[in-house]
């Protein structure tokens, strides 16, 4: 199971179209991983529906802070590796640092990910 970590809010000014583009980039990388035989996951795929159900009204509101990164951190604890994509992102960099501290593999490009077993 590989966590795809990339920018969500970074550089977007919280513009919904830019946020959506960042999620799409993570999902596109996840699809490549899936087709290569891996089980890809994103924190956004789990956190965003929870935020909606909780009544979050915007990125960075108290519910966002309660749910968004903690979901990714809990998910990472179950993963075997991280694929870091995209540009600057404190959250994605935090996932990479946590992965390394847990001894997980960290890949910085799709070409670096070994074939699924």
Q: What is the pLDDT of residues 3-31, one digit of tens each?
A: 999 999 999 999 999 999 999 999 999 99
Residue 105's domain comprises 2-36+44-111
Q: What is the mean pLDDT of residues 41-53?
A: 98
Domain presence at residue 87: yes
Domain presence at residue 60: yes
Domain presence at residue 49: yes
Domain presence at residue 104: yes
Domain presence at residue 116: no
Could you give the number of structural domains in the chain?
1
Own/partner pairs, 113-117, CB within 8 angstroms, 24+ separation: 113/2, 113/33, 113/36, 113/38, 113/81, 113/83, 115/36, 115/37, 116/36, 116/37, 116/38, 117/37
Domain presence at residue 79: yes
What is the spatial distance between Cα 60 and Cα 63, in angstroms, rounded to a whole number? Answer: 8
| CATH number of 61's domain | 3.40.50.10400
Q: What is the pLDDT of residues 68-117, one digit of tens each?
A: 999 999 999 999 999 999 999 999 999 999 999 999 999 999 999 999 97
């Amino acid at each position: 199971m590989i966590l795809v970590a990339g920018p969500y809010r970074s550089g977007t000014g919280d513009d919904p179209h830019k946020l959506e583009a960042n999620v799409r980039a993570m999902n596109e990388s996840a699809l490549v991983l899936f087709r290569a035989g891996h089980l890809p996951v994103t924190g956004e795929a789990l956190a965003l529906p929870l935020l909606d159900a909780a009544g979050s009204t915007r990125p960075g509101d108290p519910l966002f802070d309660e749910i968004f990164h903690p979901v990714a951190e809990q998910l990472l604890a179950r993963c075997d590796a991280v694929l870091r994509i995209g540009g600057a992102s404190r959250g994605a960099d935090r996932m990479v640092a946590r992965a390394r501290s847990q001894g997980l593999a960290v890949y910085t490009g799709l070409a670096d990910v070994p074939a699924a077993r």
